[in-house]
Structure 1
Amino acid sequence: MTAVAADRITSAEQAYSVAAQLSSEFAREAALRDRERRLPYAELDRLAASGLLAITVPAAFGGADLPPSAVAEVVRLLAVADPNIAQIPHSHFVYVNLLRLAGTPEQRQRYFGQVLAGGRIANAQSERGGATVADIATTVRPTGTRFRIDGAKFYCTGSLFADVLAVLTRLDDPDQRSGLSAGEYIAYLPADTPGVRIDDDWQAIGQRTTGSGTVTFDGVLVDRDQLIARDAAVRAPTAYGAYAQLLHAAIDAGIARGALTAATEFVRTASRPWFEAGVTRAIDDPLLIQRFGELSVAVTAAEATLTAAATAVDTAVADTATTSPDLIAQASLAVAAAKILADRAANEVSSALFEVAGTRSATTDLNLHHFWRNARTHTLHDPLRWKYHHLGRSLLHETPPPLHGVI
């Protein structure tokens, strides 16, 4: 466990206030951290100590039990300042949610307690080499009274900063010695478990400080009570996937707002007017004013659609008594629409920043291109074309979206 004395947040309003304060702090050196690839260890300590990472812990276990909409707004506020820091706890919130949906009472008590104390969870989920991203080669197999994990994971965002790794595995037990049902399991294990190796080898053009490197597992031993069957969350109507995708949309919306804010400040203070405009200040160029209006609409639309999607996910998650498939489907489709608009706004505005700000904005010392690099990298998580597809099928065929979690 990280030695962090975490505060307790008790309301959405308090969470927003704390997130806004941290966002202001994190923004000051975001471009410098990106340029130097300075990993945000101190910033993550601040985030953990703030209590924001525990805002979804259920009230029965001592948490604020805030809804998805509150988490999305916290993530968006952080992403305006530094989308790297905003993305790092994405999997943390997702796997806290998995505990809520599928963990045993004992597992919830243990891991929720760690989260309340400032503990951080990171993912070890994606793999390379399979026919598709959905193919999982990392295995968990019974050995004596315990289980052994072997495999390699990539794009393990936040793993460098984590106390606990949530490892996606496939049960390898043809003789059914374990008594577990076939399928995929998430193993929750301390990041310093023997046999775990975390490599700082992330080399993408953007999101450079997310700690999204490689994690390998060589004969890692875990106990039965560290395993949670994933089917309870992803093969049933639970809004698990909509929740996770909502947070991705929040990151993109935050990037769009951050890029627009940076462009506005630069044009106000540093840009020169184009001579044909016949004005002395760039901000008085009528064509530039119109372009800023267009960019503002793109960002405002992304934020408004994010809010609407968050409300839909809140409604679906709150419907625990009946678990209505219709509400789950509506939430997934609302999030798909929000993700599309946030993706488009993040990429458009971060690119248009240079168009409106002029040549001076392209200097490497300013590193304003980190907005575009972050947007371009983060929005590669899942293709928009399939979101359009599921939205279209819903209209034409009245077909609900699938439950696989990346709509």
Structure 2
Amino acid sequence: MSAVAPTTWQSRPAPTDADAWIARATEVAAILATDAAARDRAGATPYAEVQLLKDSGLVTLLGPAAHGGGGQRWTTAYQVVREVAKADGSIAQLLGYHYLWNWAARLVGTREQWEHVEAEAARNRWFFGGAVNPRDADVVVRDEGDTLAFSGRKSFSTGSKVSDVTVLEGVLEGTDDHVFAIVPSDSEGLAFHDDWDNIGQRLTESGGVTLDNVRVGWGSAAGYVDKTFRPRVYNTLNVPTIQLVFVNFYLGIAAGALETAAGYTRNTTRPWLHGGHDRAVDEPYIIDIYGDLTTRLWAAQAFADRVAEEGQRLHDDPDAVTERDRGEFEVRVAAAKAHATDVALEVTSRIFEATGARSTATAEGLDRFWRNVRTHTLHDPVAYKRREVGRHVLIGELPTPTWYS
């Protein structure tokens, strides 16, 4: 991968506002775009790409400014994820999941815990992964007195080998109590498997992980005081927060597909021989395709931004979040997720109608946009997102917090 030396950014002032951070993300995307198709085909572990995110400072975006972080809000994080996704959906997913897991201490932990984690993460530019796939059997957490031991297996662990720290989650043995903890990714007993071999999002290192008595102190059990969890409604905001990450890298991938396709149409696509036009850009059906897809994408982006602002108000005052606040936000996120899924799949599929048969050549790599969206949008059935919206409209029901709602 073409890389920018750290001094390129270190010799310039760090971004200080949202616009400057989004501009930084645009720079990162430009670097990733130079060989995105080739890297997708190679499917190599993205060590260099994650280093790029560190060198640019994007990994510290949500961290406290006092400790070298960007001090930014979730609304900016979503925009940054979307910008990076225009060039590389895999790296955008890694970054978006990193933001969620970096924030997990604040979502679940005590003030002392999250202040410590966020300070260390910003100072050391930690990159976060997570072993929290809820479709698998729960990891068992055994109380050993002063320590906890996590044992089990998860089918997916996004970030795995490229992460500095990993968020673990399991159920305390003999109880229904869930426990989150952050551990170094090279911890004894934590083994990542090289078994991520899917058609899309190939560089996300989302393979399985085995936990064999991975030990942490009770002090690292997020939100626990004297071995008792102290719940807040804000704890349950992890699902709508990560689902908005999904929304934004779907829309970023779609935007990148449109931009790439438009460049191909301008420079390479030939007009139809019976259409009477000398240039593809003058073909009425091609003009209509780009007009239609762009209109749909802009509408989806505007809605996603509106929902992100609504969520930011909850992040700004965590202790004030009520069950109704959380439920209404989840419904709005569900609507944004459903709409973004439909738009991104349509955009990444229909661009070929405007680029023509020769654009399907492997070297062009236009298929990666659809493969990436198609792969990740199967994360959870979009029909259940529409169901949340429909039941709220018809009977005022608010979604019960689960791992997917």
TM-score by length of 1: 0.90
Q: Which of these residues, 56, 59, 63, is aligned with residue 62 of structure 2? A: 56
* CA distance in 2 between partners of 1:144 and 1:242 (Å): 35
* CA distance in 1 between partners of 2:39 and 2:334 (Å): 31
Counterpart residue number, 1:190: 184
Do the aligned residues in 1 keep the contact of 2:171 with 2:177 (CA within 8 Å)?
A: yes
The SS at the match of 1:213 is coil
Residues 58 and 101 (structure 1), Cα distance of their counterparts in 2 relative to 1, 3 Å cut:
farther
Counterpart residue number, 2:220: 226
Counterpart residue number, 2:166: 165
1:6-17 map, 5 Å: 9-17=15-23
* Paired-residue identity, %: 34
Q: CA deviation at 1:214?
A: 1.2
Residues 161 and 352 (structure 1), Cα distance of their counterparts in 2 relative to 1, 3 Å cut:
same
The one-letter code of the counterpart of 2:63 is V
Counterpart residue number, 2:133: 126
Q: CA deviation at 1:261?
A: 0.8
* CA distance in 1 between partners of 2:319 and 2:105 (Å): 18
Do the aligned residues in 2 keep the contact of 1:89 with 1:122 (CA within 8 Å)?
A: no
RMSD (Å) for aligned C-alpha atoms: 2.3
Q: Does residue 43 in structure 1 map to residue 46 in structure 2?
A: no
* CA distance in 2 between partners of 1:109 and 1:125 (Å): 22
The one-letter code of the counterpart of 2:113 is Q
Residues 370 and 327 (structure 1), Cα distance of their counterparts in 2 relative to 1, 3 Å cut:
same
Deviation by residue 1:309-356 (Cα, 9 ceiling, x = unmatched): 111111222243522434323322222121112111211111112221
Q: Which of these residues, 91, 108, 113, is aligned with residue 119 of structure 2? A: 113
1:7-406 map, 5 Å: 9-58=15-64, 63-116=69-122, 117-126=124-133, 133=135, 136-173=137-174, 182-229=176-223, 239-320=237-318, 322-404=320-402, 406=404
The one-letter code of the counterpart of 1:205 is I
* CA distance in 2 between partners of 1:320 and 1:148 (Å): 30
Residues 147 and 124 (structure 1), Cα distance of their counterparts in 2 relative to 1, 3 Å cut:
same
TM-score by length of 2: 0.90
Residues 326 and 319 (structure 1), Cα distance of their counterparts in 2 relative to 1, 3 Å cut:
farther
Counterpart residue number, 2:3: none
The SS at the match of 2:380 is coil
* CA distance in 2 between partners of 1:368 and 1:89 (Å): 22
* CA distance in 2 between partners of 1:37 and 1:84 (Å): 10
* CA distance in 2 between partners of 1:149 and 1:249 (Å): 32
Q: CA deviation at 1:93?
A: 1.5
Deviation by residue 1:12-69 (Cα, 9 ceiling, x = unmatched): 1221111111111111111110011133211211101222222222457664432221
Residues 260 and 23 (structure 1), Cα distance of their counterparts in 2 relative to 1, 3 Å cut:
same
Counterpart residue number, 1:177: none
**Unmatched tracts of structure 2, length 5 or more:** 1-5
Do the aligned residues in 2 keep the contact of 1:9 with 1:55 (CA within 8 Å)?
A: no
The one-letter code of the counterpart of 2:200 is G
Do the aligned residues in 2 keep the contact of 1:124 with 1:153 (CA within 8 Å)?
A: yes
Q: CA deviation at 1:404?
A: 2.2
The one-letter code of the counterpart of 1:14 is A
**Unmatched tracts of structure 1, length 5 or more:** 128-132, 175-181
Mean CA deviation greater in 9-18 or 339-348: 9-18
Counterpart residue number, 1:130: none
